Structure 1
Amino acid sequence: MRFIGLDQFALFRDVGLRGCLPDGSEDPSWRGRHGERNALFAELLLTTGMRLAEAAHLLFCELPSSEACHDTDQRLFPFRLPAAVAKGDKARTIRLPVRLLRRLHDYAALERANAIERFAERSAVNAKTDALSAVEADRNMIVIVGDDGQRKRIRLDLVTPHDRRRLCNADDMNVAPAMLWLTETGAVMTPWGWAAVFRRASKRCRSFGIDIDVTPHMLRHSFAVHMLSMLIRAQLGMVMQDRSGGAAGDAAYRRMIGDPLQKLQRLMGHASITSTHIYLSSLDESRALVDAAINDWADALGDEETAA
């Protein structure tokens, strides 16, 4: 299992995906056109732990509205990942940073909108016969018009990745792809297309002497390792507030180890907690955390004995 630190990710994002020089300045020779889109996709993987296929098959209509993103004081927004794109067909709720949601809407309003305009100009693509035409859509349902002209309401939870790539929003004037992530010409960005983006970005980093080889799945592992570390730190603080000892102390210890793993299991969408256990061995500070916890417990018990 491989993962990267946040400093390495910043280099990969800025140098590999955005086309900057290692010192952060612009590279005059950079010819890439989708640096911000690609960087945004990578940050989505890193901050949510979504699998490549899950993030790649999101529909634009599934995003919380831009109004909801701006009319909130929350830093995180709950987002229900549809069962049809999640591994094992098990929907789960992830926490999207509001700042990232705002940037997703900025991308949709500019780069994605331009791609849809180019898509509309390509009559040959618009005429493809395998498209699924949706005349209505929201975060939960779509209305599809069949070949017989009949309308059918379908839950987005049931729309498979294959059908999502075929899905188009249709009105009297235009047909536009429903997927969130599009190429410059309005075609759908597929998981294998994203994998190629990451390979090129890693190759560019190595050309500057940055020894890095990042894959989309590595960012999922990175999310898990960093999140588990932070959850354990937070749990240690909560446990140390409970100094009652005895049965309550045993329960606190179980919370210290069990709660962070269970929280991470839900965030990652693991069917079994054993799949989540692998991230414990990746914490450089795991032994130090355990030692610190034992020392703190000993100090706490010592304080109570002195008080008695």
Structure 2
Amino acid sequence: MDLAFVQSGLLEKYLDTDVISAARVAALLDRRGILDGTPVYLDEETQTPIPPLCEFGRYLSTALLDETTLKDYGRVIGRLDDHLAGLGSDVLSAVESDLVSYRGHRTQRQKKPVGASVWSRESFVLDDFYGFLVDRKILPHRPARLAARGRNALAPRVRSGMDIRHLTFEQYRYFRDVGLGGQLPNAEVDTSFRGWSPLRGRAGSDIALGTGARWREWSTVLLPELGLWPGMPGGAAEYTVQACAKYGKDRTIYVPEDAVASADLFCLLERPDIVRRAARGLERKARDLFVVGEVDVAGGRVRGILDGVVREFQMSAMDAKLRRITVHEGEFGLEAMSLFVCRGGLMPGADAWKSYRHRAWTRMTNLADRSTPLLPGRRWRWHDLRHTYALQMLTYLENAMDGPEPDQQARRLRHRSYLTGHIRHNPLLIVSRRLGHASPETTYQYLQYTDDLINEFEAAFAGWVGDDQATYAEIASHALASTKGAC
């Protein structure tokens, strides 16, 4: 079985037939509600669609999933079919033992086994897939039996909670300034640093930490949304995120003044050079871009030409794909309206931001010395900054709520009144709203991290291990140095 994905933007370039025009095919896809990224499953020999599987692809498309998610879900079915082909089976004729074999392959036997969280997502898609086939009478029953509590052969063995990983102040500064910003651990400039845009990485990390937004919500921000647009006053900013938010749930994101200033510094010192170098290339691609001619800052709308037609969009309703091709006429010619730009002049994608943090991690570990803060055991993620924001904000609000009340009994009584009479000011609910969590239950999981348990451990076991000359930081630095030497 071969797997392809719907990509309507390529029709005009590559569809060359006398039977049907590219415009008719695009109109048909739009009328049927077939979104870009919808998986299409083809027979390897005849290259004709496989009806039951393509029906599932259309079912996913009607769920209004974004393009990336549609592709990810489509690949899950493709991987299962590839594995089953080696067993002389396929996804439509699989039995329970086939699914058990596939689970073992993905989680244990393949070259890089997936973890519990990845398998949990895949098992959800596969369970939904077979449920769809049974509901549509394509299969008489699911291939796997249901056991206690609804578990089956696809169910993950471990029910894991959120992987909450947060940073200390020292760790964050080291990540930002040394890993992304090209400094040495002693705060001096590293003349050997060959990073393309250190200020871009610093600005991205400051906005991520200062807003607590998800990666897609801050990395796709447009200049007018951040207040970095002619005629806007500057300072702290607020913008509404919706199309780029998880589940499309809209909310207002507050960007503190210091984070905006960090972005402004990038715009002043680095961004113009990137824009100037890319202007000629963007001019050649103008036909495929959304060229904005009018920006209504107060109304949060933009108006311009897309595919030869005048279009108007609410900025919050613009998805990441549209934001990436949104440009305007700037000082050097066409330039992106997104804050962050890469060498091609347009907004960096997921792979680019992933490479930025990977290179930063390599640099941080290579430069680690005795002055370096204790680094996490696993490579850091952009999402760690969201977790850090949540914990710092929650801790601050809880401390502000507690106040200097010395009487613990009186404080407990005040808290009861606080939670019932002033729920609008509840720290947990405030943070939940800021993060855009669908339910406060998700925010509850941060509570176990709000106490500084590391310092409590240090105090409880001071002097138990080693001697007065050895500290945990020194032991960690030595272990890190030994690892580098072994490599």
Superposition TM-score, scaled by structure 2 size: 0.52
Paired residue for 1:133, among 284, 291, 295? 291
2:220–2:338 Cα contact (<8 Å) kept = yes
Paired residue for 1:14, among 169, 177, 181? 177
Deviation for aligned residue 1:78: 4.9
The residue aligned with 2:234 is 69
| Aligned positions of 1:230-269 closer than 5 A | 230-237=396-403, 250-252=416-418, 259-269=426-436
1:121 aligns with 2:280: yes
Higher deviation after alignment, 213-222 or 250-259: 250-259
Paired residue for 2:220, among 54, 57, 67? 57
The alignment partner of 1:274 has SS state of helix
1:126–1:175 Cα contact (<8 Å) kept = no
2:429–2:440 Cα contact (<8 Å) kept = yes
Supply the AA of the counterpart residue of 2:302.
I
State the identity as a percent.
25
1:219 aligns with 2:219: no
The residue aligned with 1:271 is 438
- The answer for unaligned runs of 5 or more in structure 1 is 71-76, 289-308
Deviation for aligned residue 1:109: 3.2
Q: Which has the larger radius of gyration?
A: 2
Higher deviation after alignment, 269-278 or 247-256: 247-256
Deviation for aligned residue 1:246: 11
2:279–2:332 Cα contact (<8 Å) kept = no
Paired residue for 2:320, among 152, 161, 167? 161
The alignment partner of 1:122 has SS state of helix
Q: Which has the higher contact order (CA 8 A, sep 6+)?
A: 1
Supply the AA of the counterpart residue of 2:219.
A
2:238–2:255 Cα contact (<8 Å) kept = yes
Deviations 1:101-148 (A, max 9, x none): 13322322332222221111326x632542112111244001022444
Deviation for aligned residue 1:214: 1.6
1:170–1:176 Cα contact (<8 Å) kept = yes
Deviations 1:167-197 (A, max 9, x none): 1214898322221101144232123211210
Supply the AA of the counterpart residue of 1:267.
R
The residue aligned with 2:359 is 200
Higher deviation after alignment, 7-16 or 206-215: 206-215
**Alpha-carbon distance change, 247 to 188 in structure 1, aligned in 2, over 3 angstroms:** closer
1:48 aligns with 2:211: yes
The residue aligned with 1:86 is 245
Supply the AA of the counterpart residue of 1:26.
V
**Alpha-carbon distance change, 238 to 259 in structure 1, aligned in 2, over 3 angstroms:** farther
1:106 aligns with 2:265: yes
2:237–2:260 Cα contact (<8 Å) kept = no
The residue aligned with 2:18 is none
Name the CA distance, whole Å, in 2 between partners of 1:256 and 1:240. 23
The residue aligned with 1:280 is 447
**Alpha-carbon distance change, 94 to 238 in structure 1, aligned in 2, over 3 angstroms:** farther
Paired residue for 2:349, among 190, 197, 203? 190
1:35 aligns with 2:202: no
The count of aligned residue pairs is: 278
Deviation for aligned residue 1:240: 7.9
The alignment partner of 1:93 has SS state of strand
**Alpha-carbon distance change, 237 to 253 in structure 1, aligned in 2, over 3 angstroms:** farther
Name the CA distance, whole Å, in 2 between partners of 1:158 and 1:85. 8
Name the CA distance, whole Å, in 1 between partners of 2:191 and 2:337. 34
Supply the AA of the counterpart residue of 1:136.
E
Name the CA distance, whole Å, in 1 between partners of 2:445 and 2:340. 31
- The answer for unaligned runs of 5 or more in structure 2 is 1-163, 456-487
Supply the AA of the counterpart residue of 1:10.
R
The alignment partner of 1:142 has SS state of strand
Q: CA RMSD in A?
A: 3.0
**Alpha-carbon distance change, 168 to 239 in structure 1, aligned in 2, over 3 angstroms:** farther
Name the CA distance, whole Å, in 1 between partners of 2:424 and 2:197. 42
Deviation for aligned residue 1:80: 2.3
Paired residue for 1:142, among 292, 298, 302? 302
1:119–1:126 Cα contact (<8 Å) kept = no
1:48–1:96 Cα contact (<8 Å) kept = yes
